[in-house]
Homo-oligomer: A and B are copies of this chain.
Amino acid sequence: MTAEDNRGIVLASRPTGRPTPGNFRLETVVCPSPAEGQVLLKILYLSLDPYMRGRMSAAKSYAAPVEIGQVMEGGTVAEVLESRHPGFKPGDIVLSHSGWQSHAVANGAQLRKLDPAVAPVTTALGVLGMPGFTAYAGLLTIGQPKPGETVVVAAASGPVGSAVGQIARIKGARAVGIAGGERKCAFIRETFGFDAVIDHSAPDFAAQLAAACPGGIDVYFENVGGKVWDAVFPLLNTFARIPVCGLVAQYNSEGDFEGPDRLPVVMRQVLSKSLTIRGFIQREFVAQRPAFEQEMPRWIAEGALKYKEDIVEGLANAPEAFIGLLEGKNFGKLIIKI
């Protein structure tokens, strides 16, 4: 490979509302040679996740935005082609954060070696990676489900939602999932083993959700916002916990939101029901990481925790796949095979 062979997808312009293919551009990007302590990587898999929508905007957030003309960021699984770091040799498979491109140079200190014999390497981007840890840490640290309680999660066929429901069940709680379309709902019920699943496209969605939660909702793991929130909200029990890890339904919205103003009603319920609403990002829970790395693989090995991947071939298809992700078109953890 020469330094010019690297292809990458850069942010061409910032989206207003829903991203379009024109916000991205596939181009040849320069890949430097590895310096001392670095390795040259061939990217095998790229993770696509909803948080990336935030990086496309200039708005202040917990992370800096991607600059115009920069390669889009993202978690990746890669093969070491060339190593100037004593910990890695060509052929090693590693977890890196190399973004939407075919090759990259990375500091060895920032890589984690993956053992394909322990688990398929793609799981490092999903159930055993950031989405799985988001589910694990948010549910157990903030949600704290107790036996017999009801846990509700949307995007339940996705990597976060599917893990939330299954971990809730492992902890003895009831899991109620929400997803779009009968195909996803059947999978969540049959493979992920949720106690109930509701299709949010049903006209009587809110009534179905209420019927599936006869004892109310004790934990609502919020990863979508929008109309799911409106259906969940009246069902929350006293002392309900609401970990907030995402709001996909509103990521594409800009400017003022139409009234009525729901905030006073929400705050009144926060008060009268002693609710806890807590936003988080998984990396603040580093203390839970060792327990996660011990428990999750064991649950998978025991068959208590299942996962589903949605693998799309080709870097050039990443923009379209990402746009679909924001609309719930993926079915399982969305990964690009480069």
Contacts and interface: CB of A to CB of B under 8 A. Distances in A.
Given A259-B257, A261-B259, A265-B257, A271 B247 contact: yes
Contact of A271 (B246, B258, B263, B271): B246
A62 B272 contact: yes
A2 interface: no
Nearest to A61: B272
A266 B264 contact: no
A204 interface: no
Given A273-B62, A279-B270, A261 B262 contact: yes
Contacts of A273: 62, 279
A244 B273 CA distance: 11
A280 interface: yes
Nearest to A272: B61
Contact of A250 (B61, B268, B276): B268
B264 A261 contact: no
A250 to B, nearest CB: 5
A220 B174 CA distance: 34
Taking residues whose C-beta sits less than 8 angstroms from the other chain, chain A's interface range is 35 or more
Nearest to A222: B267
Given A268-B247, A268-B250, A62 B263 contact: no
Interface string A194-211: 000000000000000000
B278 A276 contact: yes
A104 interface: no
Contacts of A271: 244-247, 279
Nearest to A238: B62
Interface in A268-295: 268-281, 284
A144 B260 CA distance: 34
Contacts of A302: none
Contacts of A268: 247, 250
A263 B260 CA distance: 10
A225 B267 contact: yes
A273 to B, nearest CB: 7
Contact of A261 (B263, B277, B281, B284): B263
A278 B244 CA distance: 13
Given A247-B264, A274-B278, 7 more contacts: A54-B272, A244-B270, A244-B271, A259-B261, A260-B261, A277-B278, A278-B278
Going nearest first, the 8 A-B pairs with the smallest beta carbon separation are A259-B259, A270-B279, A256-B260, A257-B261, A262-B263, A271-B279, A277-B277, A61-B272
